[in-house]
Structure 1
Amino acid sequence: MHTSELDLNLLIPLEALLEERHVSRAAARVQLTQSAMSRALARLRRALGDELLVRTANTYELTPRARVVKRELEYLMPRIHALGRPPFDAATATDLVRLSCSDYITLLYGEPLFTAIFQQAPSLSLTIEALSPATVADVEHGRVDLAFVPFRPASNLSWLRLFDEDFVCLLAADHPVDRVTLADLASYPQAGAVFLAEEAMILERRLAELGVQPPSVLRVPYFSAVAAALPGTRFIATLPRRLAVRYAEDPRLRLVEAPAELNSFSYGLVWHPRLDQDPLHRWLRTQVTLLTG
């Protein structure tokens, strides 16, 4: 990208357009009117000699040149943004940080993490969003700063493994099964939390590989709802161990080891590479790793 041919005032609109792939969303992100962003896009197209965004049936797609420019901006823009910032000081930071995670993470680490963050950065603002099928795209487009996910994304996002986890089974205390086998998982209805396509695949794909197809399935968006569905039923819930042991404190529930054929998996942090060296983001990642490492 030849920045000498480009008005540097257009770099921020350019970054927003290439990440959002949508004129209205990009305009809202940088607090411009839609018409002003449309004019900026027209100027960028002339300066770079490329359409950058091409309209398709339902959205805009990046041209090959735009993808190259986007990769360059991912390393250039953090340095430009940092030029206007004072040195990071948690005690005086007033930023807004957006995290995405499941109730599994908030139950296990929410209290100590929130305490650590706000003791050191009392003026920081923190927004927690539920994991969803859009989470990875939200991280890619800058709508989420940091996400806790049970898989490593296939995209070029930065990833840090936090811990390994395995599955156990949670069921009603009066459930007739004493030791869960693959045959039991094929015979009894299943209850599970599904909020990411990739998360569902971790367990369901493995069961399919083993030829296990439950007779019926209850899918809910939160693990707490899974636990609430078990007492008095014949459901079997296959859950992460760290979470299941918390719910097993309920006398109406019982914890049973899952079949050995079910693989363990890794939980980790994912973020955009442009935040690799961002002082606030590095500080935040350190708070997480101190608790989970």
Structure 2
Amino acid sequence: MDLRNLDMNLLLPLHALLEERSVSRAAQRLSLSQPALSASLAKLRRLFGDDLLVRHGNTYELSPLAVSLRERTWTAVQTMDRLFSAQAEFDPATSTRDFRILGADYAFRIAGREISLAVSAAAPHARLTFETLARETLEGAPESLRDCDGMILPHGFIGSERYLDILEDRWVVVAARANPELGETLTTDDLASRPWVLAMNRTTSYTPAVRQMQTLGIEPRVAVVTPSFATLPALVAGTDRIGLLQERLALAVQDLHDLRILDFPVPIAPIKDAFWWNALYDADPGHQWLRSVLARVAEEMRLPGGVDASGA
């Protein structure tokens, strides 16, 4: 498709229509008249050769093509927003920039509050968006780093040289405080015989800590699998199960779920989460400011604040 023949003015109407699933609501969102947006919808239908919005009774639903376009359209709008909001200088006191950081629930639970407070204190008009990282985005890294300001992830997931260490933690085992099957300390027999609750870090694989146990000849007996560390404590509470959790998160939810926190009886490598970004943001003044805020947060949390390999 020749980009010179495209009407780029259709991008925002497309985005609003796919989000709102209503011509009237999309028109209100864009401060346009309903006839004007109906005309844009007609152009979009001709362009894609698809209805996009399909009427069902009194409502509209997205066509299969529209569903596939929704995420890509959102990404395109965000990319254009960052492109045209780029400035030679960055003034946090007046900036209205939207910083978009992707990551796992654990990182946002532990460091999100401190990061958001630091950003808001210096840039009160800016917006900070924390977004749960999708599997497809992770597997598309480091190329997918172009579509966001960065990702907070452990080392080993992204082959990028641009990173800033944010927090370090260690793996612990959590169990119900009243679990009668466990002694004061955890044994290697416990690791192999007790039923586990484990979180998947990808669709078909567990965390690196589980792989380390398997390397040592310990095969966990998996009873429950959850896609989120945030839901894991509730699945352990009041049962005979044990779960694998980051210590900072375990301490935060220990009293809420009446849990015990136990050390591993075998050596398990610690977790190091870093903020990763694409090289195209190296010289971006706003992104440089964001990295300085993250570095300060890491230092204030009394954790090792890293520097990227390029020295930025």
Normalising by structure 1, we get a TM-score of 0.67
Residue 147, structure 1, aligned to residue 124, structure 2: no
**Corresponding residue of 1:50:** none
Runs of 5+ in structure 2 lacking a partner? 15-42, 48-82, 300-312
CA RMSD, 1 decimal:
3.6
Give, in angstroms, the shift of residue 280 of structure 1. Answer: 1.1
Q: Call closer, same or farther: CA 1:138–1:124 in 2, change over 3 Å.
A: farther
Per-residue CA distance 1:162-218 (angstroms, 9 max, x = gap): 333211111101112122222211111111222446983412211221122222242
Aligned positions of 1:1-293 closer than 5 A: 85-136=87-138, 137=140, 140-141=143-144, 142-175=146-179, 176-178=181-183, 179-196=185-202, 200-250=206-256, 252-293=258-299
In the alignment of these two chains, the number of paired residues is 232
Determine helix, strand or coil for the equivalent of 1:222.
Answer: coil
The amino acid across from 2:268 in the alignment is L
Give, in angstroms, the shift of residue 82 of structure 1. Answer: 9.2
Question: How far apart, CA to CA, are the structure 2 residues paired with 1:96 and 1:182?
Answer: 48
Question: How far apart, CA to CA, are the structure 1 residues paired with 2:207 and 2:230?
Answer: 20
Question: How far apart, CA to CA, are the structure 2 residues paired with 1:198 and 1:152?
Answer: 17
Determine helix, strand or coil for the equivalent of 1:206.
Answer: helix
Question: How far apart, CA to CA, are the structure 1 residues paired with 2:266 and 2:89?
Answer: 50
Question: How far apart, CA to CA, are the structure 2 residues paired with 1:211 and 1:268?
Answer: 30
- Give yes or no for contact 1:131–1:195 (8 Å, CA) kept in 2: no
Question: How far apart, CA to CA, are the structure 1 residues paired with 2:156 and 2:276?
Answer: 8
Deviates more, 1:214-223 or 1:240-249: 214-223
The amino acid across from 2:105 in the alignment is D
Give, in angstroms, the shift of residue 85 of structure 1. Answer: 2.1
The amino acid across from 1:250 in the alignment is L
Determine helix, strand or coil for the equivalent of 1:134.
Answer: helix
Question: How far apart, CA to CA, are the structure 1 residues paired with 2:166 and 2:254?
Answer: 24
The amino acid across from 1:170 in the alignment is V
Determine helix, strand or coil for the equivalent of 2:135.
Answer: coil
- Give yes or no for contact 2:118–2:297 (8 Å, CA) kept in 1: no
- Give yes or no for contact 2:142–2:159 (8 Å, CA) kept in 1: no
Q: Call closer, same or farther: CA 1:223–1:238 in 2, change over 3 Å.
A: same
Per-residue CA distance 1:39-66 (angstroms, 9 max, x = gap): xxxxxxxxxxxxxxxxxxxxxxxxxxxx
Q: Call closer, same or farther: CA 1:190–1:172 in 2, change over 3 Å.
A: same
Question: How far apart, CA to CA, are the structure 2 residues paired with 1:83 and 1:128?
Answer: 20
Per-residue CA distance 1:239-293 (angstroms, 9 max, x = gap): 1111111122236211111223222232111111111221111111221221223
Give, in angstroms, the shift of residue 229 of structure 1. Answer: 0.9
Question: How far apart, CA to CA, are the structure 2 residues paired with 1:251 and 1:160?
Answer: 33
Question: How far apart, CA to CA, are the structure 2 residues paired with 1:118 and 1:238?
Answer: 33
Identity %: 25
Q: Call closer, same or farther: CA 1:219–1:151 in 2, change over 3 Å.
A: farther
Determine helix, strand or coil for the equivalent of 2:210.
Answer: helix
Q: Call closer, same or farther: CA 1:198–1:265 in 2, change over 3 Å.
A: farther
Determine helix, strand or coil for the equivalent of 1:112.
Answer: helix
Q: Call closer, same or farther: CA 1:110–1:201 in 2, change over 3 Å.
A: closer
